[in-house]
Amino acid sequence: MCGIIGVINRVRSVMDGSGIKKALSLMNERGSGEGAGYVGYGIYPDFADCYALHVFYDNLVEPKKKVDNLLEKWGRIVHQEEIPTYERPNLRKQHIPWRYFYKPHKDLMVGSSTPEDDLVKNLVMDINSCIEGALVFSSGINLGVFKAAGWPEDVADFYRIQDYKGYIWLAHNRYPTNTPGWWGGAHPFNLLDWSVVHNGEITSYGTNRQYVESNGYKCTMFTDTEVVAYLFDLLGRRHGLSEDLVVKALAPPFWDEIDTMTERDKKLNLAMRLTYGSAQMNGPFAIIVATSQSIVGFTDRIKLRPLVVGENGDKLYISSEEAAIRIMDPKVQNIRMPRAGEPVVGRLIV
């Protein structure tokens, strides 16, 4: 099952984490107390030009030394510290959450049009696949993921997410069937600027995984959701597709619909399906993806998972449940349910 919610303030006004915590906790029927998480954008104004790397360490002896060495080899650690946590009766520290504010040496990366991003991406892949006892679970600029195995309110209080202020928040309430209890298995999943929360199961995972791996990504988190983050990074950042087009690649229109389109649309959709067939996602899902510029919500092509949208002025909400939006913002308007595969996009306007 799982419950998801996302909100963007399109003029960049910040919201503290208390609202999203309340909304997520309302959807406890959709979770099992074994995983919850949040991501906020714009939460690190003091380090606004640094990559914020959030790492789960099993201990601070061996893995951290290796990570520190690797990071220092490829860039400069501007600041590092343990992420402040406050243990709850139901939520004890299983890993040590650590954060680095990091500037990669872009001159060290050759053959890339986005050298800093590619450098950080490679570091994340290397650490996660090669350094035991370390897992980078957040790696974007001025954003951070906070997640653990527990109920939403406990996870929120564990990190005190009400102390962070962001203009975009995504959150996820997990009912795990795979890897329960593992902190790395909780959502959101993040890579660079991309964060993903996902309700469902991706039946095309084997195909999608093969596709991203053949493009230089490594799937290390034992769950199908991370592939969504990599697909968005590959198609959105490296191939330069707009959010609408990425969603079209991941949840394309049916051939029957394409056959009745105008010549121009037919040509475009045919090209999309042929080129990005291996990126197409199947199975039941509702997904919200965030970047520093926008949030995008969409479902599978026959809408086997719920998704509701609402607005209030500059704020756009996307969630599994209308009630979750309403408790966060009682004055919400224009509640609607998007059609299967139809992307809902909220972009910054400043």
Partner 1 sequence: MTLGSVPLRYKVSIDRDQCMQCMRCVDNCSYGVYRVEGDNILIDSRKCTACHRCISMCPRDAIILQERPVDYRSHPLWTAQTREDIINQARTGKILLAGMGNALEYPIIFDRLVLDACQVTNPSIDPLREPMELRTYIGKKPARLEFRKNDQGDVELATELAPNLKLETPIMIGHMSYGAISLNTQLSLAKAVKAMGTFMGTGEGGMHKSLHPYQDHTIVQVASGRFGVDIDYLERGAAIEIKIGQGAKPGIGGHLPGEKVCVDVSCTRMIPLGSDAISPAPHHDIYSIEDLAQLVRSLKEATEWKKPVFVKIAAVHNVAAIAAGIARSSADAVVIDGFRGGTGAAPKVFRDNVGIPIEAAIAAVDQKLNDQGIRNEVSIIASGGIRNSADLAKSIALGADAVYIGTAALIALGCRVCGNCYRGLCPWGIATQRQDLVERIDPDIGAKNVANLIHAWTLELSELMGAAGLNSIESLRGNRDRLRGYMLDEGLMKVLNVKPVGA
Q: Quick one: 198 or 326, whose CB is closer to partner 1?
A: 198
The distance of closest approach from Cβ of residue 128 to partner 1 in the complex, given in angstroms and rounded to an integer, is 20
Q: Is 303 in the site for partner 1 (CB under 8 A)?
A: no
Give the three-state DSSP class for 335.
strand
Distance (Å, whole) CA 53 – CA 181: 22
For partner 1, the binding residues in 173-202 under the rule CB under 8 A are 177, 200-201
Residue 44, amino acid = Y
Respond yes or no on whether the N-terminal peptide bond of residue 97 is cis (omega within 30° of 0): no
Spell out a b/e string for 223-258, using b for 16 or more CB atoms within 10 Å of the CB, else e.
Answer: bbbbbbbbbbbbbbbbeebebebbbbbbbbbeeeeb
Residue 135 vs residues 16, 57, 95, 257, 267: alpha-carbon distances, Å: 26, 7, 10, 43, 42
- Among 60, 130, 255, 260, which residue interacts with partner 1 (rule: CB under 8 A)? 255
Residue of 222, 128, 226 lying closest to 177 (CA atoms): 222
Residue 265, amino acid = D
Piece in contact with partner 1 (CB under 8 A), picked from 11-19, 141-149, 263-271, 323-331: 263-271
The distance of closest approach from Cβ of residue 222 to partner 1 in the complex, given in angstroms and rounded to an integer, is 12
Q: Quick one: 271 or 337, whose CB is closer to partner 1?
A: 271
DSSP codes, 248-293: HHHSPPPHHHHHTS-HHHHHHHHHHHHHSGGG---SSEEEEEE-SS
Q: Is 294 in the site for partner 1 (CB under 8 A)?
A: no
Distance (Å, whole) CA 215 – CA 199: 25
DSSP codes, 228-251: HHHHHIIIIIIS---HHHHHHHHS
Residues 10-39, mask of contacts with partner 1 (x by CB under 8 A): ------------------------------
The Cβ-side half-sphere exposure at 233, using a 13 Å CA radius, reads 28
Question: Which H or E run includes 115?
Answer: helix 115-130
Q: Are 9 and 15 in contact (CB under 8 A)?
A: yes
- Among 69, 213, 260, 323, which residue interacts with partner 1 (rule: CB under 8 A)? 213
- Among 277, 293, 336, 337, which residue interacts with partner 1 (rule: CB under 8 A)? 277
Q: Quick one: 251 or 344, whose CB is closer to partner 1?
A: 251
Q: Is 263 in the site for partner 1 (CB under 8 A)?
A: no
Distance (Å, whole) CA 3 – CA 300: 16
- Among 28, 112, 162, 203, which residue interacts with partner 1 (rule: CB under 8 A)? 203
- Among 11, 130, 302, 335, which residue interacts with partner 1 (rule: CB under 8 A)? 302
Q: Is 304 in the site for partner 1 (CB under 8 A)?
A: yes
Give the three-state DSSP class for 187.
coil
- Among 264, 330, 331, 349, which residue interacts with partner 1 (rule: CB under 8 A)? 264
Q: Is 65 in the site for partner 1 (CB under 8 A)?
A: no
Piece in contact with partner 1 (CB under 8 A), picked from 78-86, 136-144, 296-304, 324-332: 296-304
Q: Is 80 in the site for partner 1 (CB under 8 A)?
A: no
Q: Is 206 in the site for partner 1 (CB under 8 A)?
A: yes
Tell me if residue 50 is catalytic: no
Residue 22 vs residues 8, 18, 38, 345: alpha-carbon distances, Å: 16, 6, 12, 23
Q: Considering 2, 50, 130, 219, which one is annotated as catalytic?
A: 2
Residue 304, amino acid = L
Q: Is 111 in the site for partner 1 (CB under 8 A)?
A: no
The distance of closest approach from Cβ of residue 262 to partner 1 in the complex, given in angstroms and rounded to an integer, is 13
The distance of closest approach from Cβ of residue 159 to partner 1 in the complex, given in angstroms and rounded to an integer, is 29
The distance of closest approach from Cβ of residue 317 to partner 1 in the complex, given in angstroms and rounded to an integer, is 26
Residues with catalytic roles: 2
Residues near partner 1, by CB under 8 A = 177, 200-201, 203-207, 209-211, 213-215, 239-242, 254-256, 264, 267-268, 270-278, 280-284, 301-302, 304
